[in-house]
């Protein structure tokens, strides 16, 4: 069994990006810039944003965090996004979710110039991804995809099963694997026989949010298992896959923590560098 080490893969990706940023600086005399907007004082969001800022600086990006109180008016955020859209030193804009209730999430997402949308949530990027065109891809599924490709570079004809159909994870994951010529099944809370679907998978991606939902007898021998779930339980943080059981028969599996999680931020940096490169064409 291969334990897919997300921490190591993320460190390797950051190192590649660091070198690329040096080359880009030499070529263009400027570096990619990432601006994060953080609204309110939700602790998990603050931790994510701090980690994003730290990682961005490590790879040599220009990084900025703009903070607003919970009570900030939607228009203030829309005006700031407009300003950042026009700012040449900003390659990527990210508005940390979740947002306070009085702010319309979709309006905010759609205000970001799609060419600076490092989260890949803008409908233009969603459409481009599903049409097979160049686009920013949401960071978590992009990280999963890169981990899968490390284990199995040729995915053509493989049967992939995704559990969860969120815009954040399941749907973009489906598109990425379709592009690799997998036969993809996307399952969700109304799927009739989830175990039977999972048993078909050469590649199984679980993005549900239910602790240890996927059991050993749900997984085909030699499957690649990617666990996106992050669930707080009495025994600590666990994924959507019963790791101790499933790791006995899987060909490769991501642990939680230390699997998909570390790749998410590294992919945000990758998206920022890609947005910068496209803006220089
Ligand atoms: P979500 O709540 O938006 O979507 C969950 C999906 O699971 C839905 O499509 C739903 O239909 C499906 N589902 C619910 N119950 C089910 C069941 N019993 N059987 C089959 N499908 C079922 O969640 P999300 O935002 O996609 O996140 C999923 C998990 O991934 C969460 O645990 C979240 O914390 C984690 N997550 C991790 C990262 C990371 O960086 N590792 C990033 C984002 C989210």
- Expressed in angstroms and rounded, the spacing between residue 166 Cα and the centre of ligand 1 is 7
Q: Looking at the annotation, which residues are catalytic?
A: 52, 96, 119
The stretches of the chain forming alpha helices (DSSP H) are 6-28, 43-58, 74-86, 105-111, 123-131, 139-151, 170-179, 194-198, 243-246, 260-279
Whether residue 252 is predicted with pLDDT greater than 90 in this model: the reply is yes
According to DSSP, residue 115 is labeled G
Question: Which atom of ligand 1 has the smallest separation from the CA of 259?
Answer: 41
The arithmetic mean of pLDDT across residues 119-147, rounded, is 97
Supply the mean pLDDT for the chain.
97
Is the overall model pTM greater than 0.75, yes or no? Answer: yes
- Expressed in angstroms and rounded, the spacing between residue 165 Cα and the centre of ligand 1 is 8
202-231 pLDDT per residue, tens:
999 999 999 999 999 999 999 999 999 999
Domain ranges of the chain: 29-113, 139-261
Residue with CA at minimum distance from ligand 1 atom 14:
189
Tokens 């026009």 sit on residue: 86
Would you tell me how many other CB atoms lie within 10 Å of the CB of residue 75? 9
Among 143, 186, 189, residue to substitute to test ligand 1 (most atoms within 8 Å of Cβ) = 189
Among 138, 230, 257, residue to substitute to test ligand 1 (most atoms within 8 Å of Cβ) = 230
- Expressed in angstroms and rounded, the spacing between residue 169 Cα and the centre of ligand 1 is 7
Q: Which CATH number fits domain 139-261: 3.40.50.720, 3.60.20.10, 3.30.70.260, 2.60.120.1060?
A: 3.40.50.720
120: left (phi over 0), alpha (psi -120 to 50) or beta: left
28-55 pLDDT per residue, tens:
999 999 999 999 998 889 999 999 999 9
How many Cα atoms within 13 Å fall on the side-chain side of residue 195?
A: 5
Q: Which pLDDT score, from 0 to 100, does residue 42 have?
A: 87
Say whether 139-261 and 29-113 share the same fold: yes
Is 3.40.50.1440 the CATH number for 29-113?
A: no
Question: Would you call the peptide bond into 98 cis, given omega within 30 degrees of 0 as the criterion?
Answer: yes
Residue with CA at minimum distance from ligand 1 atom 8:
164
């Amino acid at each position: 069994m291969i334990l897919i080490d997300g921490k190591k893969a993320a460190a390797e990706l950051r190192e590649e990006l660091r070198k690329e940023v040096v080359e880009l600086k030499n070529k263009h005399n400027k570096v990619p810039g990432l601006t994060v907007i953080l609204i309110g004082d939700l602790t998990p969001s603050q931790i994510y944003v701090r980690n994003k800022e730290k990682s961005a600086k490590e790879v040599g990006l220009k990084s900025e965090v703009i903070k607003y109180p919970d009570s900030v008016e939607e228009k203030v955020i829309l005006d700031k996004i407009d300003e950042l859209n026009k700012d040449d030193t900003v390659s990527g804009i990210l508005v940390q979710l979740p947002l306070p209730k009085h702010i319309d999430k979709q309006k905010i997402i759609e205000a970001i110039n799609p060419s600076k949308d490092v989260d890949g949530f803008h409908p233009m990027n969603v459409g481009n991804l599903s049409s097979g065109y160049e686009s920013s891809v949401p960071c978590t599924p992009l990280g999963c995809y890169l981990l899968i490709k490390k284990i199995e570079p040729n995915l053509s004809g493989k049967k992939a099963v995704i559990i969860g159909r969120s815009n954040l994870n399941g749907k973009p994951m489906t598109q990425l694997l379709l592009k690799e010529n997998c036969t993809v099944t996307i399952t969700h809370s109304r799927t009739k026989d989830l175990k039977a679907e999972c048993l078909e998978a050469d590649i199984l991606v679980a993005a549900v949010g239910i602790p240890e939902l996927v059991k050993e007898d749900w997984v085909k021998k030699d499957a690649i298992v990617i666990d996106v779930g992050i669930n707080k339980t009495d025994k600590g943080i666990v994924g959507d896959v019963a790791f101790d059981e499933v790791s006995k028969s899987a060909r490769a599996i991501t642990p939680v923590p230390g699997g998909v999680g570390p790749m998410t931020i590294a992919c945000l940096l990758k998206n920022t560098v890609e947005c910068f490169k496209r803006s220089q064409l």
